[in-house]
Amino acid sequence: MKEKLLSIAWEVHRCIWERFVHPETNMLKTRLGEGDPLEDCSLYGGFYLACLVDAYAATREERFVAEARRIFEGLRLNATASGIPGFLARGVAEDGTYRGEPSVDQYTGFMYGCWRYFHSPLSGRTEREDIRRFFTDILSRLEANAWKITREDGTVTKFGHLDALRPTRAERLLAFLRAGYEVTGDGHWLENYRQVLAARLHHCRNYTGTPSWVGIQSQVSLQMLIALEDDPEVGKAFVEGACNLAEVCRPQMEALHQVPPGTAKQAPFPFYRSPLFTETIRNPLEAVTVLLLTEEQAFRREATATLDEIRERLDLKLLSFAWALVPWEWDLWLALRSRRPFGDW
């Protein structure tokens, strides 16, 4: 089983590098063909950076050092393209033009991926210094805008209400602040974390109705908080939230069994009418990630059991969205890791 999963992981890995990583900008494109290839480069570029950290942990292959650095270069471009400190582009084209209108999602992927990379053996001194600066700039801009994500002119973006008191927003602001303190050493961010914690903690537990493409972002935020929180009672609330997310995503993961083998279409699936899907196969694949990221072995075993079947059901050549391929590869490396995702190296 392990050898088969390893073989599939390398197959998906090759597909991503041959088709989705731009050779000059190192931008992980969102999609091929129709649609905007720059839409979610910060979100899935950040997730893919974390994926490469876990790939190295699973294999100790030195190639991942150079590959992670290239993906980080693409993220660095997103963080600097506008010339505005703390403004994160969605993606940058070859000519230097960028896709603006950032969202909570883009910042979540970027912050999480950089945090994982910062603590891994794959990053060097220059990369860690860059991450410290990016975290400082991002948090300073967010604070100046009352924890809202804004356009270049300071107006709030459509999906910019990081300040909202509700699940899928509360844990993200908390994670940004707590990780910001840990990465930069600036106690100002820890003070802000403590100030906003009480009003948000109870929003980090109930994720009923959350689709897994949102759940994966909440899960990585909760995992940051679980790894960093010193108070055991507060940490317990984050663990409960992570397990609740896994329970919510279990039926979405199980929807993979209803995908016909060798299916030729990814999005949408005309044969599948369940509300467990929104637009693409990304939902079930990201649901698997949500379970694998937990510290609960029962969830991890259940999620791992689906991975052998996925390859039989999906035609790799026909997948044209990073939404599907990034979580698929990440799932495989997470399952193959000998240590849990946030354990010691």
What is the SS3 assignment for 89-121? CCEECCCCCEECCCCHHHHHHHHHHHHHHHCCC
pLDDT at 280 over 70: no
Angle at 137 between CA 134 and CA 142, to 5 degrees: 120
Q: Stretch 171-198: mean pLDDT, rounded?
A: 98
Percent of the chain residues topping a pLDDT of 90: 79
Structure tokens at 10: 């390398």
What pairing do the DSSP bridges indicate for beta strands 98-99 and 91-92?
Answer: antiparallel
Query: Which residue reads 């035609």 in tokens?
Result: 315
What integer pLDDT is reported at residue 10 of this predicted model?
98
Of 182, 239, 233, nearest to 205 by C-alpha is 239
The Cβ of residue 146 has, within 10 Å, a number of other Cβ atoms equal to 10
171's torsion region: left (phi>0), alpha (psi -120 to 50) or beta? alpha
By the 8 A CB rule, do 71 and 52 touch? yes
Query: Which ranges in the chain belong to alpha helices (H)?
Result: 2-19, 41-59, 63-80, 104-118, 125-144, 170-184, 187-200, 212-228, 232-254, 282-292, 297-304, 307-313, 322-336
| Cα 17 to the center of its chain, rounded Å | 18
pLDDT at 324 over 90: no
What integer pLDDT is reported at residue 273 of this predicted model?
44
What integer pLDDT is reported at residue 237 of this predicted model?
97
Measured CA to CA, the distance from residue 322 to residue 186 in angstroms comes to 35
Task: Show Cβ contacts of residue 326 under 8 Å, excluding neighbours closer than 6 positions.
Answer: 16, 28, 44, 47, 48, 51
Q: Stretch 128-151: mean pLDDT, rounded?
A: 98
Average model confidence (pLDDT) for the chain? Answer: 92
Show the domains of the chain with their CATH numbers.
2-336 (1.50.10.10)
* 220-229, 262-271, 313-322: least confident range: 262-271
What integer pLDDT is reported at residue 262 of this predicted model?
67
Q: Is the pTM of this model over 0.85?
A: yes
Q: How many residues does the chain have?
A: 345
pLDDT tens by residue, 5-31: 999 999 999 999 999 999 999 999 999
pLDDT at 117 over 50: yes
Q: Stretch 57-72: mean pLDDT, rounded?
A: 97
Of 202, 87, 208, 203, nearest to 151 by C-alpha is 87
| Cα 337 to the center of its chain, rounded Å | 18
